[in-house]
Amino acid sequence: MTSKERIKAIEKKQAALAAKIKQAQEALYRLLLESIDRIEKDPAYVEQVFKKYQESAGMKLVTTIATDVAAISGYNYAYFLSFKDELNLSGKDFTKIKGTVDTFIQERIGLKGNKVIADSFLDTLLTDATVKQKVKQQAYTNLLAGEGATTFRKNIKSLVLGEGEKLGALEAHYNTFVYDTYNQVDSALQEQYSEELELTAFVYEGGLISTSREFCKKKNGRVFLKEEALKEWPKDPDLPKGGSAYRPLIDRGKFNCRHSINYLSSRRAMRLREDLEIVSGKLQVKSS
């Protein structure tokens, strides 16, 4: 599998997830409608509605995300397997490395076998109360204002399903969060494989679109050494500001970055970047 094929496969997973999020959102709205009279009288009943949602559509979403992460892990394995011969590894060695990497990423997102680990990423995603609190707040607002059932239904529909350019509640909650997560999982897998395979060079890929950041424009299609990214990228004046602590090899161009890091064998890296050489078994920039 080439890097472009891997990226395209991940984008397909993201598109499929977006459709499932919309389906889950519609399922939530149906559950709310079924209990709308009871919620109107007692907004606290929203808790029971969301419990039903989490046990059905909500759990299905988390299962989808877990399955997709496993698929992304498989794409990375296929990517590195495509140039296994350049790494002087036997099939047995490579299978062992895959097992190590798969365990790493499962623990990172919060899976142990088929069970979601408490307080993990997946558990937090499943139990997040953001959308529930918005619905409950709308119900209390309606109750205090003494608005009728028609207005309440209209407000709930707008909140949950969205309208016009406004995203629905679940779409707004999941989309950016999960899209970034899929790309970060891919980067984390690349990084873990690079550690296991002792790879130190990568190509920054993803192409350019009208909204590409200057940070990514400068790096698109170029080969870098790990040490260059770790040292230089955090100081790049075009790196978007804000957010949590920056991890260059995972966060790339930060939130919503569509570019990926694709590690290379030393042989491939030198073919793509003429100023690289191997000295004492280490890939480095040629001395001037």
DSSP-derived secondary structure letter, 235: G
Last residue of a domain, one of 198, 222, 243: 198
pLDDT of 119 reads 78
| Structure confidence by residue, pLDDT tens digits, 180-203 | 778 888 888 888 899 888 899 999
Q: Judge whether residue 179 has pLDDT over 80.
A: no
Residues 123 and 163 in one domain: yes
d(CA 136, CA 134): 5
Confidence category of residue 13, pLDDT binned at 50, 70, 90:
very high
Residues 105 and 41 in one domain: yes
Q: What is the mean pLDDT of residues 237-261?
A: 85
Q: Which of 26, 117, 114, 24 is nearest to 63 (CA)?
A: 114
Residues 130 and 32 in one domain: yes
d(CA 63, CA 57): 10
Residues 50 and 6 in one domain: yes
d(CA 204, CA 221): 5
Q: What is the mean pLDDT of residues 277-288?
A: 86
Residues 169 and 250 in one domain: no
d(CA 3, CA 288): 32
Distance of CA 19 to the CA centre of its chain: 16
User: What's the token pair of residue 196?
Assistant: 């296991």
pLDDT of 222 reads 94
User: What's the token pair of residue 39?
Assistant: 């919620």
Residues 192 and 220 in one domain: no
Residues 211 and 172 in one domain: no
Q: In which residue are the tokens 């899209």 written?
A: 179
| Structure confidence by residue, pLDDT tens digits, 46-74 | 889 889 988 888 888 878 888 888 899 99
- Structural domain containing residue 177: 1-198
Confidence category of residue 113, pLDDT binned at 50, 70, 90:
low
d(CA 145, CA 137): 12
CB 181 within 8 A of CB 68: no
Q: Of 42-56, 125-139, 203-217, 218-232, which range is least confident? A: 125-139
pLDDT of 271 reads 92
- What are phi and psi for residue 70, nearest 5 degrees? -60, -40
Strand 201-205, strand 115-116: pairing = unpaired
Q: Judge whether residue 252 has pLDDT over 80.
A: yes
Residues 256 and 205 in one domain: yes
217: CB partners within 8 A, 6+ apart:
208
The CA-atom distances, in angstroms, between 37 and each of 29, 33, 88, 134, 152 are 14, 8, 67, 18, 10
What average pLDDT does the chain have?
85
* pLDDT more than 90, % of the chain: 23
pLDDT of 152 reads 80
For 181, the enclosing helix (H) or strand (E) is: helix 169-197
pLDDT of 148 reads 67
Residues 129 and 215 in one domain: no
- What are phi and psi for residue 268, nearest 5 degrees? -65, -40
pLDDT of 155 reads 84
Residues 209 and 69 in one domain: no
Task: Give the global pTM.
Answer: 0.83
pLDDT of 176 reads 66
Last residue of a domain, one of 172, 198, 224: 198
Q: Of 161-170, 193-202, 225-234, which range is least confident? A: 161-170
If one counts the domains in the chain, the total is: 2
Last residue of a domain, one of 152, 167, 198: 198
- For residues 256 and 43, which has the higher predicted lDDT (pLDDT)? 43
Residues 111 and 61 in one domain: yes
Residues 1 and 115 in one domain: yes
What DSSP assignment string belongs to 55-109? Answer: IIIIHHHHHHHHHHHHHHHHHHHHHHHTTGGGGT--HHHHHHHHHHHHHHHHHHH
pLDDT of 114 reads 62
Q: Which of 174, 214, 286, 199 is nearest to 249 (CA)?
A: 199
pLDDT of 183 reads 84
Q: What is the mean pLDDT of residues 166-183?
A: 77
| Structure confidence by residue, pLDDT tens digits, 141-162 | 877 777 667 788 888 888 888 8
